[in-house]
């Protein structure tokens, strides 16, 4: 895989073409496509094309796939083992629209191209999502009566304790946090949070503005070339270098943003919804 370095194109060799209940899925020996992770589907998979000799076929959304030592092939949530499970090889699957054309066969040399503008928007959305969660943790730090553990900048980790879902889209994200009894037992002052919601939102947005103005570098570091190798996002913020385990894609610098801002919605007192919006630089 080459997407951690920002690649959106590449040449490769087809290693298998599988018919599945979800349609035809193509596996190649190397790919720039980032797949959606079925176990935590925060960032959508890349879309794009596979081409050979001027002919092209559309890739709808790259997915996780795996094949057992006995040859059993599975895609996404149909994979019967945990990532890295013994006897299974994990892969990036490329679902295509319709049946495979005659030229798309095992051993064929092909060109792969990711939808670049969509990838760029998702990368901005993912980086903005991480920055917003760190700013949220910082803004809520005084509301803890017990130590919940620390985030990547050393602040009380509200994100880890309360986040129940994260959905990244182009230039933004929506995160949901459960504010129930378990969080209160963990020492979080939910009543104090509710009564100061506007001030907390203002503090988050002020911090995000400072971070964007820093034009900090941002990158993905990987321990190896396969889809199961550990990957993490690093960003050299004024408050320190943040490092978060992450399988997604990210911007190379915060100079790629004009702004990042959040809105906090506590219409349901048991559920905080944080909407993050990024404005890309021209």
**Confidence (pLDDT) at 83:** 87
Average pLDDT for runs of 10 along the chain of length 282: 97 96 95 96 98 97 96 95 91 95 97 98 98 98 98 98 98 98 97 98 98 98 96 97 98 98 98 98 93
CA–CA separation, 79 and 74 (whole Å) = 5
State how far the alpha carbon of 194 is from the alpha carbons of 144, 154, 173, 188, 277, in Å.
14, 24, 22, 12, 22
- Contact by Cβ (8 Å): 47, 94: no
Report the C-alpha gap between 96 and 24 in whole angstroms.
6
Q: What was the pLDDT predicted at 192?
A: 98
pTM surpassing 0.75? yes
Helices (H), ranges, the chain: 116-139, 158-162, 181-185, 190-195, 197-214
pLDDT the model gives residue 261: 98
- The pLDDT score that the predictor gives to residue 259 is 98
The count of other CB atoms within 10 Å of the CB of residue 59 is 26
Which pLDDT does position 85 carry in this prediction? 85
Domains detected in the chain: 3-114 (2.40.30.130), 118-280 (3.30.980.10)
CB atoms < 10 A from the CB of 66, how many?
A: 23
Closest by Cα among 263, 43, 9, 14 to 165: 43
Whole-number pLDDT of residue 21: 87
In our burial notation (b when 16+ CB lie closer than 10 A, e otherwise), range 244-272 reads: bebbbbbbebbebbeebbbebebeeeeeb
Angle formed by the axes of helices 116-139 and 197-214, nearest 10°: 130
Q: Which two tokens stand for residue 150?
A: 């620390």
């Amino acid at each position: 895989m080459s997407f951690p370095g920002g690649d959106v194109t590449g040449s490769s060799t087809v290693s298998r073409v599988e018919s599945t209940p979800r349609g035809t899925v193509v596996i190649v020996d190397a790919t720039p496509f980032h797949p959606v992770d079925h176990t935590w589907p925060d960032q959508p998979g890349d879309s794009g094309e596979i081409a050979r000799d001027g002919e092209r076929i559309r890739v709808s959304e790259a997915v996780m796939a795996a094949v057992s030592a006995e040859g059993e092939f599975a895609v996404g949530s149909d994979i019967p083992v945990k990532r890295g499970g013994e006897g299974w090889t994990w892969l990036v699957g490329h679902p295509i629209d319709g049946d495979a054309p005659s030229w798309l066969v095992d051993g064929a040399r092909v060109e792969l191209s990711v939808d670049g503008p969509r990838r760029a928007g998702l990368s901005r959305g993912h980086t903005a999502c991480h920055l917003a969660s760190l700013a949220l943790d910082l803004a809520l730090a005084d509301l803890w009566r017990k130590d919940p553990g620390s985030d990547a900048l050393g602040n009380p980790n509200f994100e880890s304790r309360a986040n129940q879902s994260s959905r990244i889209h182009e230039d933004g994200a929506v995160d949901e946090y459960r504010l129930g009894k378990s969080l209160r037992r963990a020492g979080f002052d939910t009543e104090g949070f509710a009564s100061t919601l506007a001030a907390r939102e203002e503090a988050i947005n002020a911090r995000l503005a400072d971070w964007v103005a820093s034009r900090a570098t941002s990158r993905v570091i990987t321990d190896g070339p396969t889809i199961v190798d550990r990957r993490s996002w690093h960003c050299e913020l004024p408050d320190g270098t943040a490092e978060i385990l992450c399988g997604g894609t990210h911007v190379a610098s915060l100079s790629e943003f004009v702004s990042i801002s959040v809105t906090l919605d506590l219409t349901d007192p048991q559920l905080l919804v944080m909407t993050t919006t990024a404005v890309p630089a021209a």
